[in-house]
Amino acid sequence: MLLKKNAKLILEDGSVFYGFSFASESSVSGEVVFSTGMVGYPESLTDPSYKGQILCLTYPLIGNYGIPSEEKDRYNLHKNFESYKIHVQGLVISDYSFNYSHWNAKKSLAEWLKEHKIPGIFGIDTRELTKKLREKGTMLGKIIINGKDTNFFDPNKIDVVKEVSIKEPIVYDPKTISQNPIQNNKSIKNPYAQKNKKIILIDCGVKNNIIRNLVKRNLVVVRVPYDYDFFKFDFDGIVISNGPGDPKICKKTIENIKKAIDKEIPIFGICLGNQILALAAGADTYKLKYGHRSQNQPCLMDGTKRCFITTQNHGYAVDTKTLPKEWQPLFTNINDNTNEGIKHKTKPFFSCQFHPEATPGPVDTEFLFDEFVKKLR
């Protein structure tokens, strides 16, 4: 069957890439980014950190193992996805596999994208696109299907975290079998308070596996909206999650973390959480030229010779030169020497720019969750 090139990707510099539509017949715009991961597209597409972005996957063949089941765990979290929906604006790939095969596959990638009304384009030169983004930096773009044009959209200009954060608090208790909404913002009564530490998880677009990693360490997790006043609760520590966009837009989150620092409450930041912790400490952040998105980023733990291979998805970084004297880098990216984590020299505050919970990717740095538990009062 002869396919007609009915789709194209247009970049803000005027570049045009022609291809074929294989998913939703809708035109979208967003920030065009690339990921070099070979596998893990179900997890990546459901990562809220990709909200507002058009994702280009550099691996040449995508879709060959389909999409897994939507089975949920005891906490009503999807086992095979990192949230309840696809968050990318659109998907750009080189070659789409119309035939898939995997023991856990329930549907094709195209079927899944259509269900979520997400467009996909294949048949373009993703190598050329990636080289352009590496040379000129991340750019805005739009996927046009069947000539239906749309305006450029920049997700970094809006409070995109607000769109992916929950609206009301939820508690995950290792002693229960499901998630429990907190009613009327009342204090949480934990019947296992003497045995289980309770932590606040600030949801800036949290991935499911972060929640699982916390609960399996016998922590009661109180997941709250990114701008929520959580000081009304009794708790032992704070985790700031991953999320999309410019960290400086999360003004209320930064304000709350400043208060937590003053109170010397143990804090662990992940990805966007690393940047928010740095801003709350008085440091600065900046936008990377094309970001880090892959499952093979090498990070060196400062002061050691230990290098970890990490999963990453971010477009901003902490400027270590602006860290106050009480703070220091914790990890550094070996590829470009950008910051990958910070810590306070004497107090229980630390963070990482990469994803210790993985999904997808290596689990080499999952021990950081254990380090956080050790810091709880």
Structure confidence by residue, pLDDT tens digits, 241-284: 999 999 999 999 999 999 999 999 999 999 999 999 999 999 99
Among positive and negative, which fits the CA dihedral 220, 241, 76, 373?
negative
Q: What is the pLDDT of residues 67-105, one digit of tens each?
A: 999 999 999 999 999 999 999 999 999 999 999 999 999
- Give the residue numbers marked as catalytic: 271, 355, 357
Do β-strands 7-11 and 139-145 pair in parallel, antiparallel, or remain unpaired?
antiparallel
Exposed/middle/buried for residue 307 (C-beta within 10 Å: 0-12, 13-18, 19+): middle
| pLDDT value at residue 194 | 44
Residue pair 296/278 in contact (Cβ under 8 Å)? The answer is: no
Could you give the strand order of the β-sheet that contains 307-319, starting from the edge strand earlier in sequence? Answer: 180-181, 170-172, 220-225, 198-203, 237-240, 267-270, 349-352, 339-344, 327-333, 284-301, 307-319
Residue pair 18/145 in contact (Cβ under 8 Å)? The answer is: no
**Within 13 Å and on the Cβ side, how many CA atoms surround 126?**
23
Q: What CATH code would you report for 7-157?
A: 3.50.30.20
N-terminal to C-terminal alpha carbon distance within the chain: 65
| pLDDT value at residue 345 | 98
Q: What CATH code would you report for 160-375?
A: 3.40.50.880
| pLDDT value at residue 1 | 47
Residue pair 32/143 in contact (Cβ under 8 Å)? The answer is: no
d(CA 284, CA 233): 30
Do β-strands 180-181 and 170-172 pair in parallel, antiparallel, or remain unpaired?
antiparallel
**Within 13 Å and on the Cβ side, how many CA atoms surround 332?**
11
As beta bridge partners, residue 170 has 181, 223
**pTM of the full predicted structure?**
0.93
Q: Which residues of the chain have pLDDT under 70?
A: 1-4, 177-195
SS3 293: strand
Do β-strands 90-92 and 120-122 pair in parallel, antiparallel, or remain unpaired?
parallel
Residues 6+ positions from 377 with CB-CB distance below 8 Å: 236, 237, 266
Fill in the DSSP letter of residue 148. Answer: B
Nearest C-alpha neighbor of 223 from the set 198, 193, 202:
202
Nearest C-alpha neighbor of 257 from the set 244, 240, 271, 234:
240
| pLDDT value at residue 196 | 83
Every domain range in the chain assigned CATH 3.40.50.880: 160-375
